[in-house]
Structure 1
Amino acid sequence: MFETAPDPTGRPSETAPHPTGSRPGAAPDPTGRPSEVLREIGPQAPGESGVRARIRFHQSWYRRHILGLPRYGSTEPHSGGRAMGSILHPDDAAAGRNFTTPAAERLYLDRRRAGWGVDPVRCTGYLTSSQALTINLLAPLKEDPAWAARVLSGLLDREITAVSGLEIEYAPRRRSLHLGDMTRLDAWIRLETGSGPQGLALEIKYADRFSSRHLRVAENPRYRELARTTGLWDLDDERTRSRPVNQLLRCHALATHLWLDPSSAEAWLAEQLAERPTNGPMNGPADRRTERAVDRTVDRTADRAGSDDGPKTPPTVLVLHHPDDRSAPKTVGLYRDVLTRPELLKVSGLDGLVSRMAATADSAYQRTVAQDLRIRYLDHGPSDESWEEHRITDS
């Protein structure tokens, strides 16, 4: 599905058109009409402004000038069927062009086979999709757990010896045994450290905001019991009932319930082993080390099931956001204010994660992966000239 790309990361060929995003002599049309460059980049969302508009434009530019794709797609019919430069043409979406590596496409396909959880239209066709971002970021790390451990050690400032489980868009298969709602985690990761296993939930934002869906957790007896037993939140505090913190609280609560329930931990780890392929890129020395760590953890968890000496430290939540997004850190701050253990909440720009990937890369392939992610999601410089032209034309 990457037959047009010259290497495994899907990087464009040397003939990809105008990688700087402009043509010699290109200038705004004095009549105010879009130039040929802007017409190729494609339509933008009317009325959109701020970081979301800039992200959408960069992804439209990326489609044309890095992926080299002249055609663009449109929103779904129920959303108006509006042509948009930041949406891939259906043929290109079907060819996997929204994924930055073959590993990402494999992870997407594996997750689709596992059941409901990823949006097949947005994930394959919308260049601004946070789900596609999550897959593009984490797939190379999932296939190389040793690299994942190095990256997360630096990002979380703790010594991680192995990453023994990583799932995207994770929710328990039997919600009725947990908190009973539709909350799911962007990523759910099990870390092995010198002091024992630790849980990590990721919430990843790109051009989207925190969910506006608001559940009355204070009226849910399961959330009440979890708050009582962990002491992480006071659900009688009006701040915990506010809409801005609702999504982060629900995600943290789900991760905590999964982590502190021995039967949940054992079942999840068993799934990691059951889903592990018998051949392919996950069967190297690094993965065998991780498999041994998983085996040890399953044994420990099984031995401790139903006892009082099992793992008791609640999981950490890490929020990753675009560095130009000013709203995400504010929301994180509001949630930190209602969390009795604020050290369990971390926040980082996406640039922090990608920089750690680059700094800990130990092969040319890994360095290329990190560089491609930076071009795709963070470095707006090459599209600045076209963006300025768009702003002038659109004003």
Structure 2
Amino acid sequence: MRETTPRAPVSLSALGDQPRLSEPKHARRARFHQSWYRVVQLGVRGWGTTPKGRPLGSILPPAAAAAGRNFTSPEAEAMFVKRRNLGWGVDPVRMTSHMTSSQTLLMNLLGPLADDPDWLLEVLRVVLARPNLTEVLDVAVEFAPPKRSHYLGDMTRVDAFVKLAVEGGIEGLVLELKYADRFSSRRLPVSESPRYRDLAESTSLWRSPGHTFSDGSANQLVRCHALGARTLQVDLGATVPVTLMLVHHPLDLSAGPVFDAYRRQLADPKLATRIDLELFLQTALVSAPSIGQARGIQTLQLRYVRHEESEPLWHELLAATQPARRR
């Protein structure tokens, strides 16, 4: 049973400027909940602006962003700092100030888990239904190989790449994380690439590569899965299984169908799996090794999936913004 802490009443105006009605409902709801979290949980009363100067309640003001308030744990902030020091691949402004940033969610989620590889291993065993996983060997966030010319030769980057030991060898896991954003609209002509064609032939990953490579809706998923497969193929000198896992918000109704359509194009559909964020967090909570780690997961649940906490104010906003009915 969830504990409820009495809170002082919060006015709708304290949540700050909200997204335009033209934005997708899930994105608007996520931004609103983050605005609520900023005020009620972080105690940050002011809010920031977009790069174009538009105020938005789900953006932290500069002082709060600089103080690391967008990160839910020291491990998350440390993962961000370490990755930023490695070079291009993270947006420091968005990650420290935009509360709906999927990159920030990635650090908040994987920071504590990667800091305790045995915990992460147990979570992956459950969500992937893979009890034969034996060790987490490496976790790289916002991953792309340093010498792209040795791999696929393009600018594809994956949210996280995990190397895993299994009974009898090594496998890879590509993690793609979606919060309030959609799949990338960036399209690369992979059907014209000899590297992708060679990868398809050497791995037999896709049932009909020509069809898959020309499917614009699956372009990002193809590139991410291909990058994971090619990375281990080059690094290990052998072709080994690489699983693509999508973790998405339970209220995101668009990501699932796109991913499922891609999975049907795989020769082995078991190499693609998706799980909603709520279930992933619940799995991490159940297997948390300590009370402190469990509380960290509960913080993530409150911030990212417990929309019922901000529901009364959300309905107040809807009532205030819906067009007046004609009498």
| Same-fold call, TM cutoff 0.5 | yes
Q: Is the 8 A contact 2:170 2:240 kept in 1?
A: no
Counterpart amino acid of 2:73? T
- For 2:50 and 2:15, the matched residues in 1 are separated by 16
Where structure 1 has 5 or more consecutive residues not aligned to the other structure, the ranges are 1-13, 24-36, 266-304
Large movers: runs of 4+ above 6 Å = none
- For 2:168 and 2:128, the matched residues in 1 are separated by 15
Q: Does 1:73 align with 2:48?
A: yes
Equivalence map 1:227-266=2 (5 Å)? 227-233=200-206, 234-237=208-211, 239-261=212-234, 264-265=235-236
Question: Corresponding residue for 2:325?
Answer: none
The structural deviation recorded for 1:195 is 2.9
Match of 2:249 among 299, 305, 322: 322
Match of 1:97 among 62, 69, 86: 69
- For 1:328 and 1:251, the matched residues in 2 are separated by 15
Match of 2:96 among 124, 142, 153: 124
Counterpart amino acid of 2:149? S
Question: Corresponding residue for 1:219?
Answer: 192
The structural deviation recorded for 1:313 is 2.7
Q: Deviations over 1:73-106 (max 9, x none)?
A: 0001xxx310000000011101000000011111
Equivalence map 1:321-340=2 (5 Å)? 321-340=248-267
Structure showing greater relative contact order (alpha-carbon pairs closer than 8 Å, 6 or more residues apart): 1
Q: Secondary structure at the match of 1:236?
A: helix
Counterpart amino acid of 1:206? Y
Question: Corresponding residue for 1:186?
Answer: 159
Q: Secondary structure at the match of 1:87?
A: coil
Q: Deviations over 1:214-265 (max 9, x none)?
A: 011010110011111112223322x53122100000000000000122xx24
Q: Is the 8 A contact 1:19 1:66 kept in 2?
A: no
Question: Corresponding residue for 2:136?
Answer: 163
The structural deviation recorded for 1:314 is 2.3
Larger CA Rg, structure 1 vs 2 = 1
Question: Corresponding residue for 1:45?
Answer: 19
- For 1:226 and 1:150, the matched residues in 2 are separated by 31
Q: TM-score, normalised by structure 2?
A: 0.93
Q: Secondary structure at the match of 2:58?
A: strand
The structural deviation recorded for 1:196 is 2.1
- For 2:277 and 2:258, the matched residues in 1 are separated by 16
Counterpart amino acid of 2:34? Q
Q: Secondary structure at the match of 2:57?
A: strand
Q: Deviations over 1:287-319 (max 9, x none)?
A: xxxxxxxxxxxxxxxxxx5xxxx5x33200000
Q: Secondary structure at the match of 1:202?
A: strand
Q: Secondary structure at the match of 1:133?
A: helix
The structural deviation recorded for 1:145 is 0.5
Question: Corresponding residue for 1:175?
Answer: 148
The structural deviation recorded for 1:352 is 1.6
- For 2:112 and 2:185, the matched residues in 1 are separated by 31
Question: Corresponding residue for 2:316?
Answer: 389
Q: Is the 8 A contact 1:178 1:257 kept in 2?
A: yes
